Amino acid sequence: MRRLLNGSLLFLFFASTLAAQSHDDPAKRLVGAWRLVSVEGTSPVFKFVFDHPHGIIVYDASGRMATQAANLGDRKPFAKRPAAGTLEEKAAAFDSYGAYYYTVDAEAGTVTHHIEDGLNPALRGRDNVRWFEFQGNDRVVLIPMEDGKGGAIARKDARFKLTWERIK
């Protein structure tokens, strides 16, 4: 009985230590799939209009990430068939959707997305730095630092925020 009690106490100690370590490590807390639940403000870089946006962001334990997001909740399909869109239809589809993948560096308070490639080739090689704030265990707010002019804005002046909810 004593061995069982000692083994149980040891297990609880290690389990709580691991939980505390992952809670303190922002990279580990970001691991998982997240659904976009709200967008506040306007991007100073892209000037997108957000109308019922939706998206997903996935961070994995190896430091990789991928995201896809639609700015508009009601994106129109091509009239004829998927591969036969007009130039206008293709431009509208491109302008209302974003997708890219990258490696991630996370530290206390910021995460850097090192973009490898994506829908917009102009983003290739770019570093997107985001402040992040956890709201409990299942919500994270990402706040871009870019000012739209090649520099960064002060945290207190940031108005563009994306809120993500963990997918369970």
Locate all alpha helices (DSSP H) within 119-166, ordered by sequence: none
Percent over 90 (pLDDT), the chain: 40
Report the number of distinct structural domains present in the chain. 1
**Domain presence at residue 9:** no
Residue the block writes with tokens 């730095």: 129
Q: Which domain holds residue 112?
A: 30-166
CATH number of the domain encompassing residue 71? 2.40.128
Contact 100, 66 (CB under 8 A): yes
Q: What is the pLDDT of residues 53-74, one digit of tens each?
A: 899 999 999 999 999 999 887 7
Contact 94, 78 (CB under 8 A): no
**Domain presence at residue 112:** yes
**Domain presence at residue 18:** no
**Domain presence at residue 157:** yes
**Domain presence at residue 21:** no
pTM of the model: 0.78
With 50 as the cut, is the pLDDT of residue 8 above it? no
Average pLDDT over the chain reads 83
- Positions of E strands within 30-109: 32-40, 54-59, 64-70, 97-107
